[in-house]
Amino acid sequence: MTYISSTRQPEPGPRQTVSRGAECPPGGLESSAVNGAANDSNVVPITAGHTARQGGFRRADTFLPAPEIPAKGKKSTPTAGKVRADALRMLGCVRIATVRQMAEVITAEEADGRSYVRRAMNRLAELGLAETNGKAGKHPIWNLTSAGQKALADGNELPPRPRASTGAKAVKAGFGPHGVAVTDMILAYGGRKHLTGWQVEVNHAIKETGLSFNTDAVFALPTKTSEVRLFELDNGTMSQARLAREVWDYERYAGHRVWEGARGTIGNTFPFWQRHRYTRSQTFPRLHVVLGGKEEHLLDNRLLALADDVKGIAVAVWVNTLPRLQRGEPWHEIGVDDPDRRRERYPEPVGR
């Protein structure tokens, strides 16, 4: 996440204990649409045992077309054109990925489809639609070219994303492993079923205060109370203090209020995010922080340190490690949404 903040971290409020969340990666579309607040209430102390439970979602068209299930006794070979189209769609959502990650989504479960994907990507490279600019370990990292993005837009396959970058500059600059880890996080949380509901590197900014940051990933799969969920991934490259500052930035963003009306003459104020960004949400979107890039015992220490650093934060924050998320283990709740406390911390804007 790009950090550009000129504001100061507020003093933490009442101390909270770390709780273990009840949510796991979303299941199929048959999950019932339950109130997000109801999910938040199903938490227990971190010291108690807990069984993961699926969160509830409304129906949403966020599926990448699923591979066809072959008839019994017959082999299913995906067509080259379909693999290329699915690869373009996936890279349009997650920006960068390896062949392994694309095969996990595009080909049938329990099948090793890397050879199909590798041939498809080589053909897309010949057509000038995809390219590699670096590696994650020994595996090439793929991204769309500008021509590939245009082809995807011309096909009307995804919602318009005019400001989306190809990811090439980030990979060339050496940030490819972080992007690959973000893709791993996306696959671990939503899997193959909800891929097209994601956007990466989404900017959140308030011009009046100078606060600006990029959220690693935003997941659009609405519940009754919120239309999106926010995701930050730390791949073990930033200091603990900076990670905490980035989490506090979400409270600053949620706490900023604006006057009703173009000139602020009506007399009421509203949260900036609810008036100008997430207009169909009743509560500020939950922030999910995922920790990776280190050995598991070090990630567990980092999780506890982050929980201590953000005690008293007035937005909903859930945290997990990438290995635990990939195993389907539950989240830990380290922050609770509290609009009343945010209202006390952040004063009314000056009237015009």
What is the model's pLDDT at position 110? 64
Mean pLDDT in residue range 30-38: 33
Candidates 22, 66, 18; CA nearest to 46 is: 18
What is the model's pLDDT at position 53? 33
Farthest-apart Cα atoms in the chain, separation:
73
Pairing of strands 257-259, 269-271: antiparallel
What is the model's pLDDT at position 56? 35
pLDDT tens digits along 185-228? 999 997 677 888 899 999 999 998 899 999 999 999 888 999 99
* Distance, CA of 221 to CA of 161 (rounded, Å): 17
> What beta strand segments (E) does 173-260 contain?
198-206, 211-219, 229-234, 257-259
Pairing of strands 23-24, 53-54: parallel
Phi, psi of 257 (to 5 degrees): -120, 155
Q: At what angle do helices 176-190 and 80-94 cross, to 10 degrees?
A: 110
Inter-residue contact 7 to 208 (CB < 8 Å): no
Candidates 5, 4, 10; CA nearest to 315 is: 10
Residues 6 or more apart whose Cβ sits within 8 Å of residue 315: 250, 251, 254, 284, 286, 287, 335, 337, 338, 342
pLDDT tens digits along 107-146? 876 667 888 899 999 999 999 999 999 998 889 999 999 9
What is the model's pLDDT at position 65? 53
pLDDT tens digits along 40-89? 333 433 333 333 333 333 434 445 554 444 444 444 456 888 899 999 99
